Each structure stands twice: as structure tokens, then as C-alpha cells.
A and B are shown apart, each in its own frame.
Chain A
């Protein structure tokens, strides 16, 4: 089995300690961090999602997988950023109110950092008011909103409304998350939508250029 496979298995099984040893080994052997994300870490979470859907695993196992994933990201992120250049844009990102899912959001944050954006991560369960406050504090070019629950998509709409309502018309809003679609983005007046972390970089550049 390849080392990347080992990493994927470790995340699926929530073996944080294994992750801590495998990731540095992979990096040492010259593995590409983006490849690690795309070929081991993200596929691992898809497997976890599938298994959960089929009732093969329980929530506690998802929690440890999520943590193992974060551990890997913690090690990889600084390397991705080193490869990047001087910050081109400033971005805020957060998961909307009522929603605690942050794996996808973290991935997007990491890719943005890797692409040379200066990213402020507001965490999870971020209220519309907190987004507005953070915009006022950091004056970003871009705000990323994440929602993984159909029940928190309305919070996404509220957040966009609050941001526009507070007069921040210039800041671009990009949204994402498994249940979120392009149509929804249009409907709530967001500037864009991206389906995954890799296209989140292109999408951000695209809307910032327009």
C-alpha cells in the first residue's frame, strides 16, 4: 500500500497519531501537499460521509476522522503557504450560524492561503452580525461562507442580506458547502459559488477580477 493510501486509511479510521507520523514522512519524501489533499485527505472524508450515509459508522467515528483530518491540515498548511507569494487579496471565511461543520471551510481557507490570499478564519457558528463586524474590522476583498446543513442555508441568506444591508456593497461574497448550489448563490445575491476547494481559488480570482 502506498503512503498516500496509508494516510487516507488513517483519516478514515480517525488515527490522529498515525497521521502525525505519516504526513511528515510523506513531506520528507517530497510529496506534493496539494496532492495529499486531493488524493488522500478529501477522498478519506468522502468515504466517511458515504459510510455514515449507509449507517456503517457512528457519529463518534466521524468526529475522530474530522480531528485526524485537521491534524493533517495543521502540518500541511504552513508548507502550502511557504510556496505562496505575498498576499494578493484579503479574505474572511466562516461557517454560518447554527452550523458546526468546518472541514470543507478549512480546506478552502488553506487553498486560499496557498494561493497567496491573506485569510482570516472566523470559525464555525458565525452569526450574521459577527460577519459584518469582522468585515468592518478587516476590510477584506472577499468573504467566504460555508454551510453543510440544509437547515443553515437560510442563515447564509441572512448573512448576505446583513452584509449588503450594512452598506458593504463592494466586498465579494463567495459561498459553498455540499447542499449549496449555483442557483442558490444567485437567489440570495452572493457573487459566486464554488463546488470544491480547488475551484474555490479560481472562483475567487474570477469574481475579484470582475
Chain B
């Protein structure tokens, strides 16, 4: 064992075993990556004269991530991997495979390489050449880091999610303004949304275009839900939609946005096939405003000018869900927003979103999202 006389005597049996199983030749290198045992298999690439430091570095990487890190050993497409040999938490040497041709390619072949690399670590662990505790710890940390990576990546898409949230909050008022023929009010609402779009997009044309497009898509959906005929709506706007790609400056974009929004406003306004939608809109916006209270179906219906039964019926018909499902969804959404954007305690958030108490919030939240509110908040706040 490392640290004892004849400390490398195990190596030749270990190497032979590995060769028989996987067909790759192991080298034993010292702490600086200089070869102690074994010979570099001749390849027609630069890996033959690999900088010894790269071997030591490769072994350190494996220890750091808790899994064998495979990397290129030269620009010709040959790969290497290494696993450290440790004594009391100190790296004494490393087991190295280098000069593995990747060009032979293919999924099966890659799987074989991956397996051989993974097995090297597994065998080193089995032979107690490396500290199991260190590897386990590294793996746990790597898992956490991976989650952090995705949380950070998500956060970037968050801007557009915020936009969506903003629009959806304004949508009921927008739709009712349009329905009542109050175009001025409708424009004012859209302008508020556009301000947030421009503050996100700034001078970046592509980003701006994609945010604007998102607004158009959301409005078209509302128009169709409100009864506009999808084919007419799309037919009229399809050409303009495809023009968006060619728009290159802000002035052109401004003109395009105005035309598009005006035509959507009239598409939504001119249609009276489902006069219900306006009533539904009123109901939903009333629910939004009173989410924190003990909302009853009768009360909501009254404010929308409907009977309770009628409200349930059109809600199911237009939104595909019952009154209570809708209410629960809105409450969970509100709590998510508060979890992300405030430091309020879970109890306060529960009450603000209309749950009885924290445990009620916990239960419903978990049922809807598969995770606890605390965890959800952590996921969004940890990368700061």
C-alpha cells in the first residue's frame, strides 16, 4: 500500500486486471505526474510526450468531481483519464490511461471508454487506493453544483418569465377594455407591458424581437380564447409575423408592433361569439385582487354578474378547469411569486396567498409542484 516499503507492488496485478477487462494500458505516475511504472503506448499523436503535469492535474480533477474526468490529451483527438492514489488524504501517485483514440467514434465505443474510465475509479476505491469519504463528498458537492448550474441557467430565462407574468396580470383589464371598445385604455395597458419589454430587451434587437413576439403570441391566445377565429386571426397576421425576422432597426420594429397590436385589438374587439369571456375576465381579475381572502364561488360570480352555476360552467368551458382548481392554481402561483420575490415568512406567504396556514400551503404546494415551498425558494435564491 502507498506509504509502505514496496508500496507499488500491487500495481502490476492491478494493471494486468484492468488490461484484460477493458483493453487499456495503465501507467503509474508519481505526485508530479512523472511515470514510475508502465510505458506509454506509442500513438501517432502528441500524447507520447505529454506534459507530466497534465497527468497529475487529471487525477486531481477526478478527485475534485468524484467521478473520472475524461479529457483530451492532445489536439489530435486522443483522450486520457486518471485516478489518484492516496495515502491519508494526500495524493501520492496516479493511475493514468492516455493516448486513447476517439476518432474510432460511435456510441458503443464511447460507452466502452466511459465504462473503462468509471471502472478505474471503482476499482481504485475497492482496492482502498483512494479515500471513499473524499470521493463521496466530492460527488455530493458536484451534484449540488450541477443543480446550481441549472438554477443559474434558468434565472436567465427568468426575465421573459417575469414579462409573461406582467402581461398575464394586465390581461383581464386589457381584454375588458378592448371589449368595451375603450381602445385608449387598451393602448395604455399595452404600453405598460411594452415598457417592461424594452427595459429587458434594451438595445439588443434579437432579444427585443423575441419579447415582442411573445407578447403577440400571448395576445393571440387570448383572442382565440375569447372567441376569435384562429384561422382568420393567423391568416391576417401571418405575413407580418414572418416579416419580423427581417426587421433590423428600432423604428421599423415600433411600426410593426403598432400595426400588430392594433390588428389584435380589433380582432378581439370585433368578436361577440363568446360574450362570456368578458364576464370570465371580470371573475378572474376579481379573484386576483382577493386571493388572500376566503373567496367563495358565489361572491366571485356575483361580482362578474353571473350565477354561481353559470360561472363554473363557463370556467370549465373556457379554461378547462373547475372554479376550485382555478383558485388553487392561482393561489399556488401567488405563493411562488412571493417566495421568489420577497423575504416574507412562509406563514405570511400562506396567508397572503389565501391558505389557512403554513401547513395548508405546504400540503397544497407540494401536491401541485412536487416540492416544498422552502425548497422552491432555496432553488431560486441560492445562486445569488
Residues of A at the B interface (CB closer than 8 Å) are: 13-16, 57-61, 63-64, 67, 100, 149-151, 178-181, 183, 195, 198-199, 202, 206
Contact B70 A178, beta carbon cutoff 8 Å: no
Determine whether B341 belongs to the interface, using a CB cutoff of 8 Å to chain A.
Answer: no
Determine whether B203 belongs to the interface, using a CB cutoff of 8 Å to chain A.
Answer: yes
* CB within 8 Å for A64 and B103 given contacts A150-B148, A150-B149: yes
Contact B152 A14, beta carbon cutoff 8 Å: no
* CB within 8 Å for A58 and B148 given contacts A63-B79, A100-B71: no
Which residues of B107-158 are within 8 A (CB) of A?
107, 109-111, 113-114, 117, 145, 148-149, 152-153, 155-156
- Chain A residues with Cβ below 8 Å from B149 are 149-150, 178-179
- For A202, give its contact among B102, B153, B204 (CB under 8 Å): B204
Determine whether B72 belongs to the interface, using a CB cutoff of 8 Å to chain A.
Answer: yes
* CB within 8 Å for A151 and B145 given contacts A178-B153, A202-B204: yes
Give the shortest distance, in Å, between A204 (CB) and chain B (any CB).
13
Contact A181 B203, beta carbon cutoff 8 Å: no
Best-surrounded residue of A61, A67, A199, A202 (most CB of chain B within 10 A): A61
- Chain A residues with Cβ below 8 Å from B148 are 150, 179
Contact B107 A206, beta carbon cutoff 8 Å: no
- Chain B residues with Cβ below 8 Å from A206 are 203
- Chain B residues with Cβ below 8 Å from A183 are 384
* CB within 8 Å for A181 and B152 given contacts A16-B77, A151-B145: yes
Residue of B nearest to A178 (CB): B153
- Chain A residues with Cβ below 8 Å from B206 are 198-199
Contact A63 B70, beta carbon cutoff 8 Å: yes
Across the A-B interface, the 6 shortest Cβ-Cβ residue pairs: A60-B110, A58-B114, A179-B152, A58-B110, A59-B70, A61-B110
- Chain A residues with Cβ below 8 Å from B107 are 57-58, 61
Determine whether B105 belongs to the interface, using a CB cutoff of 8 Å to chain A.
Answer: yes
Which residues of B72-124 are within 8 A (CB) of A?
72, 77, 79, 102-103, 105, 107, 109-111, 113-114, 117
Residue of B nearest to A56 (CB): B107
Q: Count the B residues whose beta carbon is within 8 Å of the partner chain — how many?
A: 29
Which residues of B360-384 are within 8 A (CB) of A?
383-384
Which residues of B150-178 are within 8 A (CB) of A?
152-153, 155-156
9 further interface pairs, Cβ-Cβ under 8 Å (given A60-B102, A100-B71, A199-B206): A16-B77, A58-B107, A59-B117, A60-B110, A150-B149, A178-B152, A178-B153, A181-B156, A195-B156
Contact B102 A64, beta carbon cutoff 8 Å: yes
Contact B145 A60, beta carbon cutoff 8 Å: no
* CB within 8 Å for A60 and B204 given contacts A16-B103, A179-B152: no
Contact A179 B153, beta carbon cutoff 8 Å: yes
Give the shortest distance, in Å, between B7 (CB) and chain A (any CB).
30
Residues of B at the A interface (CB closer than 8 Å) are: 64, 70-72, 77, 79, 102-103, 105, 107, 109-111, 113-114, 117, 145, 148-149, 152-153, 155-156, 203-204, 206-207, 383-384
A-B contact pairs, 27 of them (CB 8 A): A14-B105, A15-B105, A16-B77, A16-B103, A57-B110, A58-B110, A58-B113, A59-B110, A59-B114, A60-B70, A60-B102, A63-B70, A63-B102, A64-B77, A64-B103, A67-B72, A100-B71, A149-B149, A150-B383, A151-B64, A151-B145, A178-B149, A181-B152, A181-B155, A181-B383, A198-B206, A199-B204
Give the shortest distance, in Å, between A7 (CB) and chain B (any CB).
17
- Chain A residues with Cβ below 8 Å from B207 are 199
Give the shortest distance, in Å, between A156 (CB) and chain B (any CB).
13
Contact B155 A64, beta carbon cutoff 8 Å: no
Question: How far apart are the CA atoms of A179 and B384 in the complex, in Å?
Answer: 12
Question: How far apart are the CA atoms of A180 and B206 in the complex, in Å?
Answer: 20
Question: How far apart are the CA atoms of A129 and B79 in the complex, in Å?
Answer: 28
Residue of B nearest to A66 (CB): B72
Question: How far apart are the CA atoms of A195 and B201 in the complex, in Å?
Answer: 12
Question: How far apart are the CA atoms of A40 and B302 in the complex, in Å?
Answer: 56
- Chain B residues with Cβ below 8 Å from A57 are 107, 110
Question: How far apart are the CA atoms of A44 and B153 in the complex, in Å?
Answer: 18
- Chain A residues with Cβ below 8 Å from B155 are 181
Residue of A nearest to B113 (CB): A60
- For B145, give its contact among A13, A59, A63, A150 (CB under 8 Å): A150
Question: How far apart are the CA atoms of A208 and B367 in the complex, in Å?
Answer: 51
Question: How far apart are the CA atoms of A195 and B153 in the complex, in Å?
Answer: 10
Question: How far apart are the CA atoms of A16 and B105 in the complex, in Å?
Answer: 10
Give the shortest distance, in Å, between A72 (CB) and chain B (any CB).
15
Question: How far apart are the CA atoms of A2 and B71 in the complex, in Å?
Answer: 33
- Chain A residues with Cβ below 8 Å from B70 are 59-60, 63
- Chain A residues with Cβ below 8 Å from B114 are 58-60
Question: How far apart are the CA atoms of A206 and B111 in the complex, in Å?
Answer: 46
Contact A67 B77, beta carbon cutoff 8 Å: yes
Question: How far apart are the CA atoms of A123 and B370 in the complex, in Å?
Answer: 43
- Chain A residues with Cβ below 8 Å from B153 are 178-179
Give the shortest distance, in Å, between B274 (CB) and chain A (any CB).
40
Question: How far apart are the CA atoms of A202 and B208 in the complex, in Å?
Answer: 14
Give the shortest distance, in Å, between A181 (CB) and chain B (any CB).
6
Contact A58 B152, beta carbon cutoff 8 Å: no
- Chain A residues with Cβ below 8 Å from B117 are 59
Question: How far apart are the CA atoms of A58 and B149 in the complex, in Å?
Answer: 19
Give the shortest distance, in Å, between A111 (CB) and chain B (any CB).
14
Question: How far apart are the CA atoms of A181 and B156 in the complex, in Å?
Answer: 7
- Chain B residues with Cβ below 8 Å from A64 are 77, 102-103, 105
Residue of A nearest to B142 (CB): A151
